[in-house]
Structure 1
Amino acid sequence: MTDAAPLGVWSAPGRVNLIGEHTDYNDGFVLPFAIDARTAVAVAPRTDAVLRVSSSFDDSEASVQIADLDALFASPAPDSVPEWTTYPLGVAWALLHAAPETARPHGLDLAIASSVPVGAGLSSSAAIECAVAVALNELWGAELSAKDLTRVGRTAENEAVGAPTGIMDQTASMLGEADAAVFLDCRTLATEIVPLGLEPADLEVLVIDTLVTHAHSTGGYRERRASCEQGAAAMDVAMLRDLAPGDLERAASVMDEVTFRRVRHVVTENARVLETVRVLRESGPRAIGELLLASHASMRDDFEISVPELDTAVEAAMSGGAIGARMTGGGFGGAAIALVPRDRLDAVTDAVTAAFSASGFRAPRIFTVQPSVGAHRDR
């Protein structure tokens, strides 16, 4: 351990996906935005070739892990490390492989703290990855672009952590802007900033964290991804991105009913993302409520990744006066979001709280988030 003063502090946000769920790994379209809950990493120099990471989550000290840089280059993380360390160590490993030969990797102490809720579908993992990535990119002189760093984060998540996610979370965390969403084409990785206009519309995004935890590296996520691959193969296309709503009639005739419903979700969700971008540009955020509701229904019925708590959150939010609501994130737990007029925040919060109590569910955590800027150096 070093007693040296920190060289600086870098941070990256979690994200809310406004619409476009499970489309990313199908080469489709997504529309996430960065939020004002962030993960910060303070970095101090070392005199050896050791990368040491420590963290403090929920006011309790987490384990620490020390990795030798030469060993890290060969493997993303030593054996038997605490699970959370695979995220920062995985980023270091991926960045070592992506960096040019002119980079100067050296030992560092990384201390990580976060206000992004874990397990809520707000991408606490990408916030860690992107905060560490921008710090190491600067301090090791890698000079990788922001889009390069999104790929570093995805590589860490896929290969070090073992979660078969797409690149949406890292893109939102790296490229987010205030009161705007990031429209991402997951095939070309082209991005466009889409103004949300929540402030002039007197709207807030309310997050309803069900406190039902999920993990992307477990079976449900993998099964859905496998179904998508099977559906694409049945339709003789590279990815489900290559299908349009007009192809669904034929799709129903060449695959089993469950696979068809998985395919239908992805195809119609891609169409909803494109429509949401159009409506935001032409009519503003108060006009997208029905699209959010249709997205939730598709995830509930066709992709089957909702849970009773999420359905209750969406229904209660609407009864309290929300414009639209949907679950967000990978599913099987996590959070729902509701687009709420500012003067209805209390009513929606009360409606959701009462509905959870009546259903015998654990009381949810309810809070607002603001679309915010992406990863950067704080000081």
Structure 2
Amino acid sequence: MIQIEGGVTAAKGFKAAGIFAGIRKKKKDMALIYSEVPCKAAGTFTTNIVKAAPVKWDMEMVRNSPFVQAVVVNSGVANTCTGSVGMGYCKDMAVTTGSCLGIPAESVLVASTGLIGKQIPIDKIKLGIQNLVPILGNSTEDGILAAEAILTTDTKKKELAVTIELGGKPVVIGGMCKGSGMIHPNMCTMLSFITTDVAISKELLQEALSADIKDTYNMISVDGDTSTNDTVLLLANGMAENPEITEKNEDYEKFYRALNYVNTYFSKRIAEDGEGATSLFEVKVINAVDKEQAAKLSKSIVSSNLTKAAIFGNDINWGRILCAMGYSGAEFDPDQVDLYFESSAGKIKLIEDGIEVFYRKEVAAEILSKSEITVTADIKMGCSQATAWGCDLTYEYVRINAEYARKYTTNNYLII
């Protein structure tokens, strides 16, 4: 597997565009992804009972539409808790996109992100779609513009592409995502759009995505809030012309590993770009009885606000970590736990068999001062492990979330 330049337009046959449509204040706010040929589609969606209209539309289309060929996205307004009018606007977006591209409305997926409870400015969005279609392109720059247009409180674009060889043919997986706040395990406030030219059955495409999010997007947490619009879409158009993957053979495993690489990268980028964050906080639980135990423990640690605040303050308060492990719901023996902190400044052991060992506090503080920090908990019960990702909890996070309505709202729309 080789990482290559590009993102959502890197795979053969995919085009994209991003523009300012006037939904947000001065920032690009609409994106379009288009495949030259029909795609097989897979999707995973928020576990929140309150689901946005675009989530409901996409769940139906991914399940029942014979193929997908485009995804249209707006940022600034989420189209959530908007009733039948909001669902009608999803159809309007799909119909307008389909008409402009000459494809069925049922082959168009839609996504929205932003303020909950406001109707989307459908006239601006329709005009935006009409302006997006003529400028669709397959260049790296076209992909960048699309990646920028889906951001909300994110501070940077998030895109990646890799290539592998399947059946003697080069296959590309590329994509883009957004996510910064309202991030918590079991799908988070994020949109992720992954495109690939692999030839694979729809059933195995969905199975690969559903299995992989358990180790990637479902293992990140910024603030403990699971959103209403979480969507991961995976489109495969088959233009690589590899022998179609119809069973779990070696080619399937290679594709799955590449997909995991892309989704792991996106998960870490979302976590480190958490609202107000200054560092990526990675938690590894090793030597667990099984994967489920390790995942529960690592997610509990990475979601602990007390631990996240300690990371921000460069405070080696390891008691908060053991406390978070203790209420995780996973059984373990605290008298067997070894705990390590690590960063580019080095690695130290803090506790052994549940008891604090000697370490130099100035060395520990230096380790915690770096932009990427890893906590490893060895529970000495088996051979399984899991990794979760989060970020520190800062004053800036509180400021951003306290000032949304006052600072970012214009004409009843949240500008983020």
TM value normalised by structure 1: 0.32
Q: Which fold has the larger relative contact order, with Cα–Cα distance below 8 Å and residues 6 or more apart in sequence?
A: 1
Instruction: Flag the structure with higher helix content.
Output: 1
Name the structure with the higher strand share: 2
Larger Rg computed on CA atoms: 2
